[in-house]
């Protein structure tokens, strides 16, 4: 007598969470044309199973149609926000995250869609990038303050970068590795978040730990712009841990916003612009400086298509 395997919605294979393997997983499912009709006449398969199976196929096919977006630096303060926002939009995206350590993975929930890898090692990031449609790069070298700083004595803090974690290694080589890997899998768009100030070699950020961080960020941005991959380069102003969606956003070019009083932006607003950049053709092949008006002045930005249309600068 023929046997039939019961398929429960809750037992959906984890591979169906990722578009790259969703199609192959569907191929391994039983042929619905032969199974579903048999449900109606089989005394061994309850009505609940028929509904669950149909729901499984519908969910799997729907997820296969959604773009898979990888957020690198998902353990960082801005990266966490982008990853969380993507996870909340289950009808639009399949979210993935890349972090450097297992501790960082646990910090953002420890989900199966969070990969652990080191962007300085191109091989270690391949599993996370396989099958993605878009990449949002939020990795960055982070300077550390030298101990012994005493502001009460009028001292100025000194900074350093850990061995192997200088901007050249993280913001240049690490970002280049990500761009190359994404290009190899045919990614459709890359959003890269950098910082304003890169037009000035004497910008104070370059002196932190003698890392020339803006120089190396700018080098990675130019590399991305030269690949031919549709890109959006977002050079954010001073990042603030404030509520997003309540300010009027400002875009500019060539650090012109640094000459104004509006040079800061909430991390949550940067995160939202990253995701909105995936939705509009007006965002592609563009580089923009990003800041915001103070809360309570201007009109909170809601039309991101218009926002991206204000900029025509390719680099």
Active site positions, annotated: 195
Task: Count CB atoms within 10 A of the CB of residue 62.
Answer: 12
* Separation between Cα atoms, residue 154 and residue 165, nearest integer Å: 29
Yes or no: say if 262 and 250 are a contact pair by the CB < 8 Å rule: yes
Q: What is the DSSP string of 58-119?
A: HHHHHHHHSPEEEEETTTSHHHHHHHHHHHH-TTT-EEEEEESSHHHHHHTT--TTEEE--T
Q: What is the DSSP letter of 256?
A: G
Asked if 169 and 214 count as a contact pair (C-beta separation under 8 A), the reply is: no
Angstrom distance (rounded) from CA 27 to CA 64: 12
Q: Which residues face 155 on adjacent strands?
A: none
Contact 98, 86 (CB under 8 A): no
Q: Is 175 within 8 Å of 137 (Cβ atoms)?
A: yes
On the CB side of 92, CA atoms within 13 Å amount to: 10
Angle, CA of 82, 83 and 87, to the nearest 5°: 115
Residue 181 and residue 198: Cα distance in Å, rounded? Answer: 25
């Amino acid at each position: 007598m023929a046997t039939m395997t019961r398929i429960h919605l809750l037992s959906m294979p984890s591979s169906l969470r990722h578009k790259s393997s969703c199609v192959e997983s569907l191929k391994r499912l039983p042929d619905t044309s032969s199974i579903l009709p048999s449900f109606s006449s089989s005394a061994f398969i309850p009505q609940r199973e028929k509904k669950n199976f149909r729901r499984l196929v519908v969910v799997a096919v729907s997820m296969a149609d959604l773009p898979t977006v990888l957020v690198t630096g998902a353990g960082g303060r801005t990266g966490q926000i982008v990853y969380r926002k993507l996870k909340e939009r289950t009808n639009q995206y399949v979210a993935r995250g890349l972090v450097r350590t297992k501790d960082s993975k646990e910090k953002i929930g420890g989900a199966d869609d969070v990969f652990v890898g080191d962007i300085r090692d191109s091989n270690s990031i391949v599993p996370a990038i396989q099958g993605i449609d878009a990449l949002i790069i939020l990795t960055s070298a982070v300077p550390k303050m030298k101990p012994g700083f005493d502001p009460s004595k009028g001292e100025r803090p000194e900074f350093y970068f850990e061995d192997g974690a200088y901007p050249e290694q993280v913001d240049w080589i690490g970002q280049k590795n990500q761009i190359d890997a994404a290009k190899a899998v045919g990614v459709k768009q890359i959003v890269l978040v950098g910082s304003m100030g890169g037009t000035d070699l004497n910008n104070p950020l370059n002196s932190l730990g003698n890392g020339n961080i803006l120089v190396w960020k700018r080098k990675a941005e130019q590399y991305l712009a030269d690949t031919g991959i549709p890109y959006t380069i977002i050079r954010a102003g001073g990042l603030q841990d404030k509520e997003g969606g309540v300010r009027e956003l400002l875009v500019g070019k060539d650090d012109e916003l640094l000459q104004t009083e509006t040079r800061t932006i909430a991390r949550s607003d940067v995160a939202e612009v990253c995701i909105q950049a995936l939705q509009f053709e007006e965002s592609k092949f563009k580089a923009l400086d990003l800041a915001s008006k103070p809360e309570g002045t201007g009109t909170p930005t809601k039309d991101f298509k218009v926002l991206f249309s204000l900029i025509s600068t390719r680099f």
